[in-house]
């Protein structure tokens, strides 16, 4: 048994790509996309027609609608391949506007439903800002399930659990990147690998907290830099993995054991937390890594959304 098949015994494997032609080989349950992945995909010759066809069919509509229709077009193609759910992201430029996020999320769901896709097969991705989490809470009450992304801190995870969101995506690799850069020449890779990786430790803390207190929100580790980060989180509810790392797992016969365990988490001695807006903002501000990476992530997704706008306008 290869490591990918072994991982599937403990964890739901999710493909992290907009390149749906790569998905089928690895037989994931779910798939995730984001503005950067869609931007990358539409610049490939084999996907360019999806953009041009979308613009041709809906020319004259608002640019935001064209983007949403393009995202849904990719999502529908992905759902024709996988048995589970696809995550589609609300425009990151709305990360600090709860009401606008809700409106865009509802439109995305309406577009999926118009294509015959059941609401339960779509997760709406929203940045885990205070406003994004508030929007997600509203959407969940309306039966629209959410995936809170750009999650780097424990306080974000606690607030998402309070909001009863469906799923969170803590970003393992970006946490690792920050600590490695901050350490500079003092960084020793071997001392910060596997279970000692700072991104892995962050996800393990969140997983243990959720399982200990019976929080139903699913934990999906994301943004991996290497196979070791993935195998150190075997047993996590879900892991969303890029095609190159899926290929590396499929090519490896190394043994793989469960690393996270809900039963063990329930036996831990943990203290419950609760955040109001002021407490959340203060806790996030106190976490330099999370503050930096959340801001950086939103800026990067916004920049790619602008580039996607430009491609739509030029089509």
8 A C-beta contact, residue 43 and residue 49:
no
- Outline where the chain has alpha helix (H): 3-7, 35-42, 45-58, 63-79, 98-114, 130-141, 154-163, 172-183, 198-212, 227-231, 243-251, 262-266, 277-286, 288-314
CB-CB contact of 242 with 37 (8 Å): no
| Structure tokens, 281 | 């903002």
SS3 221: strand
Q: Which residues are catalytic?
A: 125
Strands 30-32 and 238-241 come out as unpaired
Do residues 63 and 104 lie in contact, with contact meaning Cβ atoms separated by under 8 Å?
no
**Tokens 């071997």 sit at which residue?**
190
- Give the span between the Cα atoms of 245 and 249, in whole angstroms: 6
Among 256, 174, 265, 173, residue whose Cα is nearest residue 215: 265
279 burial type by CB count under 10 A (0-12 exposed, 13-18 middle, 19+ buried): middle
Q: Cα separation of 136 and 242, whole Å?
A: 25
Query: Which residues face 12 on adjacent strands?
Result: 238
């Amino acid at each position: 048994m290869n490591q990918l098949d072994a991982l599937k015994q403990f964890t739901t494997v999710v493909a992290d790509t907009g390149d749906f032609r790569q998905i089928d080989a690895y037989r994931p349950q779910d798939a995730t996309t984001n503005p950067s992945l869609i931007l990358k995909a539409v610049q490939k010759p084999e996907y360019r027609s999806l953009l041009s066809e979308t613009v041709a069919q809906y020319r004259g509509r608002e640019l935001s609608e064209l983007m949403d229709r393009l995202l849904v077009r990719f999502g529908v193609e992905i759902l024709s391949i996988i048995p589970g759910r696809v995550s589609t992201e609300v425009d990151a430029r709305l990360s600090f506007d709860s009401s606008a996020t809700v409106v865009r999320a509802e439109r995305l769901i309406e577009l999926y439903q118009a294509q015959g896709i059941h609401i339960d097969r779509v997760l709406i991705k929203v940045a885990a800002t205070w406003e994004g989490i508030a929007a997600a809470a509203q959407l969940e009450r309306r039966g629209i399930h959410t995936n809170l992304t750009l999650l780097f801190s424990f306080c974000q995870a606690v607030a998402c659990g309070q909001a009863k969101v469906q799923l969170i995506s803590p970003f393992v690799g970006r946490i690792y990147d920050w600590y490695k850069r901050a350490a500079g020449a003092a960084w020793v890779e071997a001392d910060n690998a596997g279970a000692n990786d700072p991104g892995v430790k962050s996800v393990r803390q969140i997983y243990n907290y959720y399982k200990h207190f019976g929080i139903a929100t699913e934990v999906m580790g994301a943004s991996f830099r290497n196979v070791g980060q993935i195998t150190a989180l075997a047993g996590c509810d879900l892991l969303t993995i890029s095609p190159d790392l899926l290929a590396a797992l499929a090519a490896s016969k190394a043994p793989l054991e469960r690393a996270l365990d809900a039963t063990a988490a329930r036996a831990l001695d943990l203290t419950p937390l609760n955040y109001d807006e002021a407490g959340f903002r203060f806790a996030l501000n106190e976490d330099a890594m999370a503050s930096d990476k959340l801001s950086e992530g939103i800026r990067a997704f916004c920049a790619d959304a602008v580039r996607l706008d430009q491609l739509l306008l030029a089509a």
